[in-house]
């Protein structure tokens, strides 16, 4: 904010002197997803999973061997997917994801005609129904960080389907399938898994790319122009990664590159940092009973070092050559400093107002709005004008107080604004040998007007946060740690409005969903990144949300799997003979 003031005022840069303003803070920013937050992510996935998909009625044929085949007609079959739980948990550096559920179907009539190996001249109507069958899917994600680079390794996708009892009844074909399942109870389940598994082979690689892109977008490397010829570089880099029973913790350190210090300030003492280390990450907000899903933590040392570097660069050493579109003169400044000033130097003489900050600003945190406030101390405002044919310093007023930064979350929009209260700044008459006490009485009006002129309400950005697979961040609660070293923004995730994926289904005429029938899941769209303007970090130039395209997810063949299984086992029995 103060940095932006210098930028907006467009004032000259003071002459630099020796003194290095660069520095590193290893504990700058942290992101913590708690166990509750991981469970909430599981709720998101659970809400996304479709409750059913449909195999529309149709007819087809299936060759059992070189000399026999079956034709079939199947009524519409609805496959119901019942998701009991999606568990996401951290354990020894690995995120483990498990999906527990079951599937079943309605009863559908299937007419079968033809021959299948030793079963000849079939012409019957059977009842096809998938009995309640337990399903479990497992995936583990290992995340490591080396030299500030995240590496994600996703294990192969594991799908377990409990042995499916005989889905065919009331016909000779059902009896034959029952006999075959007696030899291998998992035969149908294995055939279904085998038909799905190859299509999931690319899922780990896709997830690895996606997660690495998301994690890499947490890093920042940017540069701010403070004044003409002066700039400040800021980098955020990974400095801590922990996956455990405490959840997921990602810590970022900061590098500040600001060059040499200016001659208008004394930076010899260096920044006054607490060195408090990382905050304690738990399931509850610091000093309260609030259980949160995710926490964003900002360190005071990081902000204070950033403010010290801005101050040390001379960006706050300002000379207001123009105000309100006109050059400063004694008549204008006399409006704020009184008629005594005008009588002393004349009514229309050039005037200079300089700002010289003796002390670097620091930040304080609050559990109320604004959650962040920049504290200024001995920010000296000096007035110069011609007196007795020479430029003279007529007065100095020290300004103390704070300027707040409000941060709120409404409808997934993170809004920031400057909070400038009229009573938040105090004024001390530090010097004037020529003016009577009380000459600063009108100064608050001047400062408030100047701040609102040069620091407009829309100076700070408003950011639309990406929605996570349809979930929304419903609230943010600010609570600093008890020692004041960290400000925590505690987030809650709302999952009630997530709409499940609609599977397109297929037709029995397509050999039961065989041959590439399925749907595409677009991760970019699910993360709110289909439109670069819709969310944060979705521009390709930032490296975020670039995942290389959607993932194809197949649907399983069911009725033909039974017939194919029958042919396999009949041929196996014939071979044994």
What does the pLDDT look like over 115-130, one tens digit per residue? 877 778 889 999 999 8
For position 468, what pLDDT does the model report? 61
For position 531, what pLDDT does the model report? 46
Q: For residues 468 and 88, give the distance between their C-alpha atoms in angstroms, rounded to a whole number.
A: 15
- Strand boundaries in 209-368, DSSP class E: 220-227, 230-244, 247-257, 260-262, 294-299, 318-320, 322-323, 326-327, 351-357, 362-365
Task: Identify any residues that bridge with 149 across adjacent strands, giving them in sequence order.
Answer: 146
For position 5, what pLDDT does the model report? 35
> Hey, what are 172's tokens?
């000779």
The percent of residues in the chain predicted with pLDDT above 70, rounded, is 79
For position 8, what pLDDT does the model report? 33
φ/ψ region of 93 (left if φ > 0, alpha if ψ in -120 to 50, else beta) reads left
Q: For residues 170 and 179, give the distance between their C-alpha atoms in angstroms, rounded to a whole number.
A: 14
Q: For residues 366 and 369, give the distance between their C-alpha atoms in angstroms, rounded to a whole number.
A: 7
Task: Identify any residues that bridge with 474 across adjacent strands, giving them in sequence order.
Answer: none
For position 295, what pLDDT does the model report? 92
Q: What is the mean pLDDT of residues 213-232?
A: 75
Do the strands 52-56 and 506-507 form a parallel or antiparallel pair, or are they unpaired?
parallel
Helix 330-337 vs helix 443-454: angle between axes, to the nearest 10 degrees? 120
DSSP-derived secondary structure for 404-441: EEEEEEETTEEEEEEE--TTSEEEEEEE-SSS-TTTTT
540: three-class secondary structure by DSSP:
helix
Burial of 5 (0-12, 13-18, 19+ CB in 10 A): buried
For residue 3, is pLDDT > 50?
A: no
For residue 537, is pLDDT > 60?
A: no
Q: What is the 3-state secondary structure (H, E, C) of 105-123?
A: ECCEEEEEEEEECCEEEEE
For residue 6, is pLDDT > 60?
A: no
Q: For residues 135 and 163, give the distance between their C-alpha atoms in angstroms, rounded to a whole number.
A: 10
Confirm whether pTM is higher than 0.75.
yes
Model confidence at 487, pLDDT cuts 50, 70, 90, reads very high
> Hey, what are 117's tokens?
């190996």
Torsion angle (degrees, nearest 10) of CA 524, 529, 531, 533: -170
Model confidence at 4, pLDDT cuts 50, 70, 90, reads very low
For residue 304, is pLDDT > 60?
A: yes
Neighbours of 502 (CB within 10 A): 11
Which residues, 6 or more positions from 229, have their beta carbon under 8 angstroms from its beta carbon?
13
Q: What is the mean pLDDT of residues 333-361?
A: 89
């Amino acid at each position: 904010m103060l940095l932006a003031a210098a930028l907006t005022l467009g004032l000259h840069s003071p002459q630099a002197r020796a003194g290095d303003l660069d520095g590193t803070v290893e504990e700058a920013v942290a992101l913590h997803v708690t166990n509750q937050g991981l469970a909430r992510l599981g709720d998101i996935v659970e809400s996304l999973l479709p409750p059913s998909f449909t195999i529309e009625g149709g007819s087809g044929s299936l060759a059992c061997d070189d000399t026999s085949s079956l034709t079939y007609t199947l009524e519409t079959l609805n496959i119901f997917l019942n998701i009991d739980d999606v568990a996401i948990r951290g354990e020894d550096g690995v995120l483990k994801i498990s999906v527990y559920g079951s599937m079943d179907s309605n009863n559908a009539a299937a007419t079968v005609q033809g021959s299948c190996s030793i079963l000849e001249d079939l012409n019957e109507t059977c009842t096809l129904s998938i009995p309640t069958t337990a399903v479990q899917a497992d995936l583990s994600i290992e995340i490591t960080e080396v030299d500030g680079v995240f590496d994600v390794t996703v294990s192969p996708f594991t799908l377990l389907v409990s042995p499916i009892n005989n889905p065919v009844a009331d016909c000779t074909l059902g009896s034959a399938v029952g006999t075959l399942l007696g030899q291998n109870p998992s035969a149908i389940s294995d055939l279904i898994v085998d038909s799905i598994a190859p299509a999931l082979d690319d899922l780990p690689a896709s997830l690895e790319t996606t997660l690495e892109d998301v994690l890499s977008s947490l890093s920042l490397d940017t540069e701010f122009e403070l004044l003409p010829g002066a700039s400040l570089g800021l980098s955020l880099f990974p400095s801590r990664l922990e996956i455990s029973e405490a959840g997921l913790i990602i810590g970022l350190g900061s590098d500040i590159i600001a060059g040499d210090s200016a001659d208008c300030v004394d930076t010899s003492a260096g920044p006054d940092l607490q060195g408090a280390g990382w905050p304690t990450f738990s399931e509850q907000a610091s000093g309260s009973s609030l259980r949160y899903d995710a926490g964003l933590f900002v360190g005071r040392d990081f902000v204070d070092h950033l403010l010290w570097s801005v101050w040390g660069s001379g960006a706050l050493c300002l000379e207001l050559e123009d105000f309100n579109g006109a050059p400063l003169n004694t008549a204008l400044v006399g409006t704020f400093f009184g008629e005594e000033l005008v009588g002393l130097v004349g009514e229309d003489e050039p005037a200079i107002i300089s700002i010289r900050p003796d002390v670097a600003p620091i930040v304080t945190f609050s559990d109320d709005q604004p959650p962040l406030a920049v504290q200024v101390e001995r920010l000296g405002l000096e007035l110069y004008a011609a007196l007795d044919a020479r430029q003279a310093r007529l007065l100095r007023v020290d300004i103390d107080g704070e300027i707040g930064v409000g941060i709120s979350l409404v409808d997934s929009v993170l809004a920031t604004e400057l909070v400038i209260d009229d009573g938040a700044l105090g004024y001390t008459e530090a010097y004037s040998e020529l003016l009577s006490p009380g000459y600063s009485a009108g100064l608050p009006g001047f400062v408030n007007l100047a701040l609102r002129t040069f620091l407009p309400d829309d100076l700070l950005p408003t950011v639309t946060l990406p929605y996570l697979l349809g979930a929304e961040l419903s609230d943010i609660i600010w609570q600093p740690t008890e020692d004041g070293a960290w400000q925590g923004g505690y987030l809650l995730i709302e999952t009630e409005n997530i709409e499940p994926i609609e599977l397109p289904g297929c037709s029995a005429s397509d050999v039961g969903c065989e041959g590439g029938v399925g749907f595409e899941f677009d991760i970019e769209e699910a993360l709110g990144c289909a439109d670069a303007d819709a969310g944060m970090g979705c521009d390709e130039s930032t490296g975020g949300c670039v995942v290389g395209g959607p993932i194809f997810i197949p649907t399983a063949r069911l009725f033909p799997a039974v017939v194919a299984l029958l042919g396999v086992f009949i041929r196996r029995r014939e071979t044994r003979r």
